[in-house]
Chains A and B, each alone.
Chain A
Amino acid sequence: MSLIKVQKLSLGYGNHTVVKDLSFTVDSEDFICIVGANGSGKSTLAKGILGLLKPQSGKVIFDNLKATAIGYMPQEHKIIPNFPASVLEITLSGFLNQLHFRPYYTAKQKARAKHNLALLHIEDLANENFSDLSGGQRQKVLLARALCATTKLLILDEPSNNLDHQSKQELYELALRLNRQHHIAVLMITHDLDHHNLIGDKILALSNGQKYFFGPTAAYVKKIHSDTEHHHA
């Protein structure tokens, strides 16, 4: 069952095109890593899918998924430092796509927010101040918020940025568990090109805004090896 069909999508800023003529499909339960060098258009593509950037041409079609029911986890460093907010306040804000004009969260939503924190092993931090947390803990809070916004698709924008090796691995394992056990599709943007960290089932590799590869991870690793050998020869 497909969730998103990206068709001939071009995205950019002003007259400058960053993502060019890109097509691919995200199916339910997919775990897709979007890889590419800095400036290859990974984050721009995420913005296009999330509706933060209007397409220059092409379109994003949502199947069996509301466009506003995607759990987006932005890069942590884009959050205002020292913002006075508790972990629970931030997590609950993931439900705003279901709040409409109601000025309060329901008991069910509060319980689910706490459940999501527990799922990520940070339930003890619920009343802590976000700015007092470590980088890894902050990422988990933003992931818990994203989980409140969706039950179908997570978009993680470079979640391992600025994290130490252990926190990075822990976050990857959590993302995998959410995908495998909770059947949530994951689109993970990463510039971590170490193939041991390419944890998804599929890879979408971008080069200068264009599709360089889209398919199973094993095939991508094989292609990278063969390209490297060819280059050395």
Chain B
Amino acid sequence: MLSLLTEMLSYTFIQRALVVGIIVSICAALMGVIMVLRRSSMIGDGLSHVAFGAFAVATVLGLTPIYFAIPVSILTSFFILRLSQNSKIHGDSAIALFSASALAIGIMAISVTKGVNVDINAYLFGSILSINPRDLIISVILGLAVLAFFLIFYHHIFAITFDESFAKSIGLKVDLYRGILAVMCSIIVVLGMKLLGSLLISSLIIFPCLTSMQLFKNFRQVVIASATVSVLCFILGLVASYVFSTPTGATIVIANLGAFLACWLLAKIK
């Protein structure tokens, strides 16, 4: 086992994937707790499709995808929030509106542009080879910023997630927090998309929370367990994909599915 890990870590691209993956796994799990409990977990799915569109357009325009995709996803998350507050378009409809449109724009951009070599599969399903040193630096900086915000404002985030009216009544700037959380979610989705792909990144947000909620019943336990499960499943998926030569993103999601089923069964037996 040790020799296998040593062999894996001798590759620079795996080292980069490991660092980015651990950071994204922790941040996605923390965001996931909030989003699952607020019944808005599909926003991650919607934003990942928007990020796909942005990556495709950026590639066609010759821009650095991550620099283009982060602001586009952030802007979209604000639009989704704004539209959700509009009584005529509910939250899930707003997400579907942006999700399908962005996917279509991305595919159109790639298909009508000649002479640009775009690996759609890498965008849709992720590629461990695609993490470059720049992605690593951006992921570390933004990931740590997300983590710091979550730790400093942990109690505020809890209060807003549990009971928005009460939080507002004691003077918490609920709309501001909601906006910051949307920004953080956009960042996490874009950072994780290169690794897991547009179609699978939302699982990193949703699975760890659902898994830990099977066994733990208070907020702090659920938060810690989600982050732990997420990192463990990421490492397990990464190693398994190396050993069995399977797609990394899909293997990580399968590891998460396995953890969920195991905890669900444990909860039933208890």
The proximity string for B residues 130-163 relative to A, scoring 1 for CB distances below 8 Å and 0 otherwise, is 0000000000000000000001111110110111
Are B158 and A70 interface neighbours, CB within 8 A?
no
A-B CB pair tally, cutoff 8 Å: 90
Q: Which residues of A contact B162 (CB under 8 A)?
A: 79-80, 83, 85, 90, 93
Interface size on A, residues (CB 8 A): 35
Are B169 and A84 interface neighbours, CB within 8 A?
no
Are B159 and A96 interface neighbours, CB within 8 A?
yes
Are A97 and B170 interface neighbours, CB within 8 A?
yes
Are A84 and B166 interface neighbours, CB within 8 A?
no
Are A96 and B217 interface neighbours, CB within 8 A?
no
The proximity string for B residues 52-86 relative to A, scoring 1 for CB distances below 8 Å and 0 otherwise, is 00000000000000000000000000000000000
A146, B167: Cα distance in complex, Å: 11
Are A70 and B219 interface neighbours, CB within 8 A?
no
Are A72 and B219 interface neighbours, CB within 8 A?
no
Are B216 and A51 interface neighbours, CB within 8 A?
no
A96, B162: Cα distance in complex, Å: 13
Those of A83-105 within 8 Å (CB) of chain B: 83-86, 89-90, 92-94, 96-97, 99, 101, 103-105
Are B152 and A72 interface neighbours, CB within 8 A?
no
Are A96 and B170 interface neighbours, CB within 8 A?
yes
A152 to nearest B CB, angstroms?
A: 13
The closest CB in chain B to the CB of A75 belongs to B165
Q: Which residues of B contact A78 (CB under 8 A)?
A: 163, 165
Are A72 and B217 interface neighbours, CB within 8 A?
no
Are B213 and A99 interface neighbours, CB within 8 A?
no
Are B158 and A72 interface neighbours, CB within 8 A?
no
User: Taking A84-B222, A103-B154 as contacts, is the C-beta distance between A50 and B37 under 8 angstroms?
Assistant: no
Are B217 and A93 interface neighbours, CB within 8 A?
no
Residues of chain B having any CB pair with chain A under 8 Å: 37-39, 151-156, 158-159, 161-163, 165-172, 213, 216-222
Offer 30 A-B interface pairs, CB within 8 angstroms, sorted by A.
A50-B169, A52-B169, A68-B171, A69-B170, A70-B169, A72-B165, A72-B169, A80-B37, A80-B39, A83-B162, A83-B219, A84-B37, A84-B213, A84-B219, A85-B219, A89-B219, A93-B158, A96-B170, A99-B155, A101-B152, A103-B151, A103-B152, A103-B154, A127-B218, A129-B217, A129-B218, A131-B217, A132-B217, A145-B166, A146-B166
